[in-house]
Structure 1
Amino acid sequence: MVTTIDLNCDVGEGFGAWRIADDEELLGVVTAANVACGFHAGDPRTMREVCESAVAQGVAIGAHVGYRDLAGFGRRFLDVAPGELVDDLLYQLGALDAIAGSAGGDVRYVKPHGALYNAIATHDGHAAAVVEAVWQYDPQLPILGQPGSRLFAHAKEAGLATVAEAFADRGYSPDGRLLPRNMPGAVLTDPEEVAKRCVRLVTEGEVVAVDGTVVELRAGSLCVHSDTPGAVALAGAARTALREAGVELRSFA
């Protein structure tokens, strides 16, 4: 039985006057914050506010890097050349690290966002680009992602650390992949259901797919998306249920 687990959440995904979630409330619940770096969402002021709050609350800061797709929230695949993607990722890492440093913190890990996260499960070129960017920037940074992905295969070859992630609020297919968001059952919004799923993931290492198949999934971190309706309640329910099950919440970073 796993006795500790990281609980992460995507934060800083507003832009200008637009705010997508209650970042302050979420940072009071989670142990790791995936901070948008300005390409799929976020801006310098938002990044600073989130980093300052994360440092104050003892939450690990991670770079939530993605395709250069602000209009599409990073959820559209962009067929960019791997070399160009490396440069885009380095730009995002450097920007967040500078702002985190000015707030008294630092970037502790990297987590790809949205369409990039899904693409690098099978896309060798983009998976290798993510690994190359992290290796060039800081080979000590762990990468958070899907177990069994091409990303993890390339990271292993490069000697980079990886942390397997499971999703509290997303539906799974029988092959262990995330369901596309336009499919029924792709997004979970019931706090009780999410809480039970988290406890099962941590204590039993498995998740029930949308068709009822039990899928083995051993993770070092659980994620709640900030743009899922009721995200604060979902994260809070997960935290409470895990603690009641004897699981300590602690960042892997």
Structure 2
Amino acid sequence: MKCALVTGGSRGIGRAICQKLAAESDYHILINYQSNLAAAEETLQKVIENGATGELLKFDVANADEVKNVLQEWQDNNPDATVEVIVNNAGITRDGLFMWMSNDDWSQVINTSLNGFYHVTSFFIQKLLRNKYGRIINMVSVSGVKGTPGQTNYSAAKGAVVAATKALAQEVAKRNITVNAVAPGFIKTDMTGELDEKELVKLVPANRFGEAEEVADLVSFLASRKAGYITGEVININGGIYS
């Protein structure tokens, strides 16, 4: 059984990616979520409607022990299963000006995006190298590429994942494993629901927010065999806001 794991897969861009991989690949979809079981079950339902199989894996990517224990238990229960695609999508924001940013707001954001990438990817990396095939796709952000005021923590976390993507890509390329980052701009999701779309859309040359499905299309392509010669790349998907 060949599998694709999507962290933070219960809502927003993560859900759209799960659905797209279900529709366009033969993978068994592993949907990671942290707390929202109802949303995760809804995603699983959509995966099944799109003709694929899937299951839910509950863990907090920021918690090293939890990640290891849940993934190890899953691997032990599915000895013949191979994870070929990892989409590191889980992330949180705790926005605010740096001068007022609490230690907690800083470390929670770093722990989820940056350490989450490490915890999940490091569990699978030796297996991918042994199998001589893999696709690692890290969801970053325009904030991690250009920096966004009010998001110094988020920009730091995502910028670090950008650099890690480029370094890891060079380490594993000989084994037919690609590592890429996808950097969305303003995308319509719960995470951007509180933003003033009317005002912000003026910043976007394309004059609209993106759809989660458009991001999922790109991720699905990078996860496919067609993208084998693309690695170490950061692909912006932001309507021209920054390039």
TM-score, scaled to structure 1: 0.40
Higher relative contact order (CA 8 A, sep 6+): 1
